[in-house]
Structure 1
């Protein structure tokens, strides 16, 4: 119960922040950034002022303005972990999850900055307007800049590693903590904003650094770390709160209104949240993907409080226990009591009822298009499963199976013979438009999955993968209004830029110009080849799944049309620089052969034909060859 609250922050918060930021999608962050900044910047300041004013005017404790605003700032930091989990589980829009989670990450940092400002005021330090603005800008902007610096340095370090899961886990864990300690303790800036910037930079540029199984292992590792950190921080906070209440039981008995005021404070917190979202609603609708009224209600209800508020309240209690005339010990105890109570109430009331609210607003329902597609997919999957497991009806060792009983246990097989409608049979204009949008999304999802597979196979580099992934994300935003247009985003990375003529006519060394030209051509060829291959695979998968429906034909024709310029570019390079394409293909084949050799070694070990030491020796040889190939790529 006597744990240092600063240790509580330093030990668990960096892991929670980095995992949350790293798990977000870069394109969603970019599109929703303005909305997140509105809620995390002006929103936190408005919430702090509203809660501080309510506390000053209605609390029975005769606190001054600085103390009231300090508690208001503490209670403005949101931690919607339970709400985000429900949103992801129900498959609601990524936009809503991104806004809520991104706002939480950013307003944690802003709330800490506000807390530092008002705590110093409470402890007797005076500020004028200029010094307040200087303090806020230094602590926040400096923290973000340092987070980006740590991210760039660590990514350069990661570039020297190859297929080393343990090292990648260790490096990402270490850099999050080193960045937090350096900024928070040594420089006295906001470590929360630093780690948030670090994690978002990783989400934008580092995900393609981790290949195949390493990427999945890293994701699982950070999920476990975040779960453990969240669990421990809430357990320790609960122990500290209970200890504080029991030790000061006389105080709570003397002030019986504390429990009633806690409920009133919960009402204030909800009203302040609603006022902030309401005041910013028009701007939230204008920026990013927009925001409708139902989504605004969910954002209001998702304002849970958590680890950051608790840790800061414990820091206030620790400051109140030291010898100083400004902050009495009972004030620190009340801060912990009220903050812990608000965390408990928001988690129990808001967190547990979010799913019911989503259902009441109709936000957990599948659209007509998705429902028809789901039923169709279920029927197709069951049919293919029966075909794949048909041999089990008569096993060589055990004899035939009772297939009637099998169907009885698997309820989905009971009505397999029933007629099922193709998802694109409805020809109404509205349904046709929705089906067309859905078909484009599914093809683009297949294209992006192919890019990930090609990255793991070594067909494309990390830089090329980032460009290709971004093109799909941008095309996803336009599927409702335009045909497939992911090629449009790639053209600027394929064709030579306008400044190339100036570069050719400049006084720069010819070797530099030649190097730039070759690199640009190589990048363009990789992009075009990957684009054509990914679309070819996605078209085949879409046609196998949907058959020769009208929607499938339209989407496939759009995909073919988008590839015409890519094919033309490769043909021009083949005619002008035939040796270049040969070099690129040779690299791809070399990497593919080395990957296949490594997989064969792993398979021999799994079947017991190789011992672990022999497997490790052979696999290390292939991995070294692959890393050398990557260096020369």
Structure 2
């Protein structure tokens, strides 16, 4: 093998030149090199634009040329040469520390997170096993075929050094060529990880070469520490910096400066402080920013960030590649050995072949894994992957580190005896720089310059037929826009007309489309089937439009940063499946809209209920943001697609897919609007506030642009609005949950009870927030209490109730569940499951029974309240569609409850329906024993039943029909007069005695549905002492059922004292009780107050006059002095003003102050 002998005279000449140069040069001369490099870079980029030669290749050639002039000729470059020598002698580690953090961060930050997730397995395989395979292949080849008598450790050191595919070179090349996203992500991500892995392998073998020994355990420990520690440090810096970004408000300079500073600090901390891989640290930091802070930069800030990092990347790439060329030239020209030994050039070419073969072996060996992981890999893409293994500044810097270490050893003469062998001699360091620089040059010149040709050869740079048709169609549209613009601007009063032929000559890009107008989706198939390529293309364009709409909503403040990240990710995931299934971006949002399982665990855990409620409301709020933004973005996307393409079968298919996707989101928002409308209200309030403030900012800035405001005035107003905007973002409006006492008092059951009973119950009531699907109680279980539904919807199912005619088996706001079972002691007769998020209250059985024992006067009210739920369960054909306030009005106005003893007969009027609440009765004639609960129907059906399905009613397992019923044991029966039901099962009632007639004078006022009035909750709750002002109303208002009806219809509590004087004609019915029980509370007069609901009940009115219809008992009319009536009811008397009264009920009823 050939040997290399150092020339002492040459070494003396080099050292002498270096020392003399260092004495004559000024450190400030280094600045001129930066300026010259940038000018050369600008010229190179300008001249090579439009050619197949990558920009980085031209920079490397220019660097070699500069180095050759400075080091290879007698014509020195003066001050420029001094600057070149200063940069050429830079410490290799300093070179990496100056350029790598910015370049690595920019590359990692610009990658799409979704692409990284899908390709991460392929990246790790190429950067892990791939680097090891390449290292050992090159090391074996170097050891066996090169004549330099290197040890295995030295050969593997150079092999690991050359295995680093440089991200700087690769990324610059891919940006120049515009490769596909999938392939670019794999190559770029692999180069980033590969670089970090190769540096770790290099450090390991470098320490071995220096004499340090490692066993397998130490090697594994070293690799784990260097790699995993780097990832941990990168995540730590990423989390800290993203949190800091959250406290920066509309200051683009600080935001961009933070990204630059944290990349350098993280690199230094990892490389110098923790002695782990700085490359992997910065790569992790950049990817974390891409994932977590993608939407932190909005509007102008995002554009500024993009331009800043593009500029940093351009400057760093220019300096790195020119400096690499200078270093290569210096390494070759200042070492006479390279010229005296011509075999080194041949071995350089051979090493280039080895590098390409090892790269091919890596891809071929790992191809089975690469093909089936992530997006997969086709053979064409594998060829590009092999050919794109460029080497660059990283490998060159590592070789310079080896050379620098050999200089230190020679100067200090501190080599141990084991190091006097040619393990790390100066010749070895020189050859490392020569071979590495040569490989960098050859890969950039050969591979970099021919990659675009290979892409063309493999037809990977051509547009698909669908994309070409889109381009042709767009050109036609551009021509139409040009003609339209010329028509608008072609002539004016001052200058006259313009010449269209001359204008057209300057838009040569549109000159070749005068032919027939094309459509992007004209069908060419004879079978008239949709072209899958066209369909996939339009789906992709539609989803890109949806994502652009999300960005717009983020800038407008319609969605938060976290919501935007979720929405963007759903679109990225849907883009992967455009070729295999219809639009599916909603699928990625379901998990964010629905409640996760751990929320149910929170309810079962020891977490405070207020905390559970807070998290639940926050989750609802986030889901509302997501659903509203999803629907809006899809609506914008459909409109844009229709405006761009027009009518076509492909566009109609995609639009129909979009509309179908939105159904579930609409249903969710509708459920929230019914159950928790205050959440939607807060979301909309926040959006409107943000939009208003942004409009004010634009208005002020526009005034300054047109000259109506001076700069100082504009800044003053702008700062004021910015302060308000900052306040909104820091302290946005929140969904406030009112105090439990206020919510309970708004429930008809609790609000109707006397204060002496209600207060003890309130103290023992448990507030609960139940998620959809959570069971409140099950059929057949022992009743342990009652459930008061404040917000939300629950669904009931029952095996014992054989009735199959229930279409909407739900209970909503104001329902009192389980009360019948508690009163009777029977098992629950149905399952109750939350059908939405439900805010409810639980009262234990013992508390209810203690109320009965302490105050028997409320017994009838409790039975009547239980009947409201029972009638919906037993006869859903009639009562299912009735709102809770309608049923309470029916109980208060048109019901009578009687207790019968054994031997008595019960007759049900033909216009009524009875319900057996407790006891046993028999049907007359058949002697069929009927147990409670049961529906008792009359034998002759009234004409108002003629449109009801009476056959279904009679066939129900709990419904019975007879002319009369015989009482077997003490029985409690409640009878409803339902003659007011018409053909559509609507309840008709007389005018309300409590509602001022002026309310009817506002027909334009929207009348909400059953839950519409909850929009006022929680802001409009009154204090309890203001609500409970029912004293003095009169004897008629003492009925607890009437009070519950009033609360259900009008809200928490309405002060109706003055209106009672104005409308004395209140209809009441005197109940007929069994004479066998003269002392029971039900013997007392039970007034039935006639009240018309302004909510759902009012919508059900048909305007029929009920005068003359049969009622349960003759009405008892209360009279009042005519003058008093006239005085209070007159709108013009001015004797008494009407005040606005806020109503916290589903009716949205309000009383206006008389003018």
Alignment TM-score > 0.5, same fold: yes
What per-residue deviation string (whole Å, max 9, x for no partner) do you get for residues 64-119 of structure 1? 11111111111111125565555556554210000000000001100110010011
- 1:167 paired to 2:254: yes
What residue is the counterpart of 1:371 in the other structure?
468
What residue is the counterpart of 1:319 in the other structure?
405
- 1:444 paired to 2:543: yes
Distance 1:90 1:55, change over 3 A: closer
- 1:42 paired to 2:105: no
Alpha-carbon distance in 1 for matches of 2:542, 2:333: 60
- 1:587 paired to 2:686: yes
Alpha-carbon distance in 2 for matches of 1:625, 1:199: 33
What residue is the counterpart of 1:284 in the other structure?
370
C-alpha contact (below 8 Å) 1:80/1:303 kept by paired residues? no
Q: 1:562 aligns with which of 661, 682, 704?
A: 661
What residue is the counterpart of 2:503 in the other structure?
406
C-alpha contact (below 8 Å) 2:475/2:513 kept by paired residues? no
Q: 2:650 aligns with which of 536, 551, 571?
A: 551
What per-residue deviation string (whole Å, max 9, x for no partner) do you get for residues 309-361 of structure 1? 11111111111111233511121111111111111111111111111110010
Query: 1:332-371, aligned counterparts within 5 Å?
Result: 332-371=429-468
Q: 1:245 aligns with which of 317, 332, 342?
A: 332
C-alpha contact (below 8 Å) 2:230/2:278 kept by paired residues? yes
- Structure 1 gaps of 5+ residues are none
Alpha-carbon distance in 2 for matches of 1:605, 1:97: 45
What residue is the counterpart of 2:564 in the other structure?
465
Q: 1:124 aligns with which of 205, 211, 215?
A: 211
- 1:309 paired to 2:406: no
What residue is the counterpart of 1:148 in the other structure?
235
Query: 1:37-116, aligned counterparts within 5 Å?
Result: 37-79=124-166, 81=168, 84-85=171-172, 87-88=174-175, 91-116=178-203
Q: 1:456 aligns with which of 537, 555, 559?
A: 555
C-alpha contact (below 8 Å) 2:360/2:386 kept by paired residues? yes
C-alpha contact (below 8 Å) 1:369/1:431 kept by paired residues? no
Distance 1:312 1:617, change over 3 A: farther
What residue is the counterpart of 1:602 in the other structure?
701
Instruction: Give the deviation of 1:264 after TM superposition.
Output: 1.1
Instruction: Give the deviation of 1:466 after TM superposition.
Output: 0.8
Q: 2:519 aligns with which of 422, 430, 443?
A: 422
- 1:272 paired to 2:331: no
Higher mean alpha-carbon deviation, 511-520 vs 410-419, is at: 410-419
Alpha-carbon distance in 2 for matches of 1:581, 1:440: 31
Alpha-carbon distance in 2 for matches of 1:43, 1:309: 17
Higher mean alpha-carbon deviation, 501-510 vs 34-43, is at: 501-510
Alpha-carbon distance in 2 for matches of 1:338, 1:351: 18
Alpha-carbon distance in 2 for matches of 1:12, 1:81: 10
- In our comparison, the structure showing a higher alpha carbon Rg is 2
Distance 1:85 1:427, change over 3 A: farther
Partner-residue secondary structure (3-state), 2:295: helix
What residue is the counterpart of 2:380 in the other structure?
294
Give the root-mean-square deviation of aligned CA atoms: 1.6
TM superposition outliers: structure 1 runs of 4+ over 6 Å: none
Higher mean alpha-carbon deviation, 394-403 vs 542-551, is at: 394-403
- 1:532 paired to 2:631: yes
Structure with more contact order per residue of length (Cα contacts < 8 Å, sep ≥ 6): 1
C-alpha contact (below 8 Å) 2:162/2:391 kept by paired residues? yes
Distance 1:416 1:236, change over 3 A: closer
What per-residue deviation string (whole Å, max 9, x for no partner) do you get for residues 598-626 of structure 1? 22333333344444443333322222222
Q: 2:112 aligns with which of 25, 36, 39?
A: 25
Instruction: Give the deviation of 1:301 after TM superposition.
Output: 0.5
Instruction: Give the deviation of 1:504 after TM superposition.
Output: 2.5
Partner-residue secondary structure (3-state), 1:499: helix
Alpha-carbon distance in 1 for matches of 2:181, 2:550: 21
Structure with greater strand percent: 2
- 1:383 paired to 2:464: no
Partner-residue secondary structure (3-state), 2:518: coil
What residue is the counterpart of 1:329 in the other structure?
426
Distance 1:311 1:617, change over 3 A: farther
Instruction: Give the deviation of 1:458 after TM superposition.
Output: 0.6
Alpha-carbon distance in 2 for matches of 1:439, 1:237: 45
What residue is the counterpart of 1:134 in the other structure?
221
- 1:620 paired to 2:719: yes
Distance 1:538 1:270, change over 3 A: same
C-alpha contact (below 8 Å) 2:170/2:188 kept by paired residues? no
Q: 1:478 aligns with which of 577, 580, 602?
A: 577
Distance 1:612 1:240, change over 3 A: farther
Distance 1:622 1:239, change over 3 A: same
Partner-residue secondary structure (3-state), 2:257: helix
Alpha-carbon distance in 1 for matches of 2:602, 2:115: 36
Partner-residue secondary structure (3-state), 1:563: helix
Instruction: Give the deviation of 1:516 after TM superposition.
Output: 0.6
C-alpha contact (below 8 Å) 1:56/1:65 kept by paired residues? yes
Alpha-carbon distance in 2 for matches of 1:164, 1:389: 41
Instruction: Give the deviation of 1:417 after TM superposition.
Output: 4.1
C-alpha contact (below 8 Å) 1:80/1:302 kept by paired residues? no
Q: 1:185 aligns with which of 244, 255, 272?
A: 272
C-alpha contact (below 8 Å) 2:164/2:394 kept by paired residues? yes
Alpha-carbon distance in 1 for matches of 2:295, 2:658: 25
What residue is the counterpart of 1:15 in the other structure?
102
Higher mean alpha-carbon deviation, 460-469 vs 83-92, is at: 83-92
What residue is the counterpart of 1:506 in the other structure?
605
Instruction: Give the deviation of 1:569 after TM superposition.
Output: 0.8
Instruction: Give the deviation of 1:500 after TM superposition.
Output: 2.7
Alpha-carbon distance in 1 for matches of 2:403, 2:249: 47
What per-residue deviation string (whole Å, max 9, x for no partner) do you get for residues 278-332 of structure 1? 1111110010010000000000010011121111111111111112335111211
What residue is the counterpart of 1:435 in the other structure?
534
Alpha-carbon distance in 2 for matches of 1:606, 1:331: 67
- Report the TM-score when normalising by structure 2: 0.54
- Report the TM-score when normalising by structure 1: 0.97
Higher mean alpha-carbon deviation, 227-236 vs 106-115, is at: 227-236
Instruction: Give the deviation of 1:423 after TM superposition.
Output: 1.6
Alpha-carbon distance in 2 for matches of 1:630, 1:477: 34
What per-residue deviation string (whole Å, max 9, x for no partner) do you get for residues 558-606 of structure 1? 1001001111111111112222212111110111111122223333333
Instruction: Give the deviation of 1:373 after TM superposition.
Output: 1.2
Higher mean alpha-carbon deviation, 81-90 vs 481-490, is at: 81-90
